[in-house]
């Protein structure tokens, strides 16, 4: 199973993934794990706004996490932005809307603790 990490899942991985279900931990080890570039922006914005504390600046922490956990990064494309804008207004968070759009576009399961994301009809999630 190929997974797309929500930003909360990256933080859970930084805490050794203890919050994940056994099924999610198995999925993390059995396929390609992706993250959207939008997660780097979300993390940096919260860090620089004083709402998030990290052991390193986001420009160092984010790539280190990707290397440590062998996570592949999806860049943002115009198609993804258009898909995100056309989604029903179930989720208001623009970061999550872009993650949902990426999952739809690439046919990935989202690893997330977010309770709103699974309300999208064609989205598969794990936690």
Q: The domain spanning residue 39 has which CATH number?
A: 3.40.50.1010
29-79 pLDDT per residue, tens: 998 999 999 999 999 999 999 999 999 999 999 999 999 999 999 999 999
Number of domains in the chain: 1
CA separation for the pair 101, 104 (Å, rounded): 5
Distance CA(46)–CA(117), nearest Å, equals 21
Residue 17: pLDDT over 90: no
Structural domain of 76: 3-126
How many Å separate Cα 41 from the centre of its chain? Answer: 12
What is the value of pTM for the model shown? 0.94
| The pair of three-digit structure tokens given for residue 121, joined into one six-digit string | 């009809």
d(CA 43, CA 39): 6
Q: In sequence order, which residues have a C-beta less than 8 Å from that of residue 100 and are 6 or more positions away?
A: 84, 87, 91, 110, 117, 120, 123
Q: How confident is the model at residue 15 (pLDDT cuts 50, 70, 90)?
A: confident
> Which residues are within 8 A (CB) of 68 and not within 5 positions of it... i.e. 6 or more apart?
none
d(CA 41, CA 127): 23
- Using DSSP's 3-state secondary structure scheme, residue 12 falls into helix
User: Measured between alpha carbons, how far is 57 from 54 in angstroms, rounded to an integer?
Assistant: 7
């Amino acid at each position: 199973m190929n997974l797309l990490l929500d930003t909360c899942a990256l933080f859970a991985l930084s805490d050794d993934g203890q919050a994940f279900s056994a099924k999610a931990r198995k999925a993390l080890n059995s396929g390609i794990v992706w993250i959207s570039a939008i997660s780097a922006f979300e993390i940096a914005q919260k860090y620089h706004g004083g709402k998030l504390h990290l052991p390193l600046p986001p420009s160092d922490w984010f790539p280190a996490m990707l290397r440590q956990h062998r996570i592949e990064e999806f860049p943002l494309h115009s198609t993804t932005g258009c898909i995100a804008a056309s989604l029903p207004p179930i989720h208001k968070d623009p970061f999550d809307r872009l993650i949902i759009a990426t999952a739809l576009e690439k046919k990935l399961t989202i690893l997330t603790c977010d309770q709103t994301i699974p309300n999208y009809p064609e989205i598969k999630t794990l936690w």
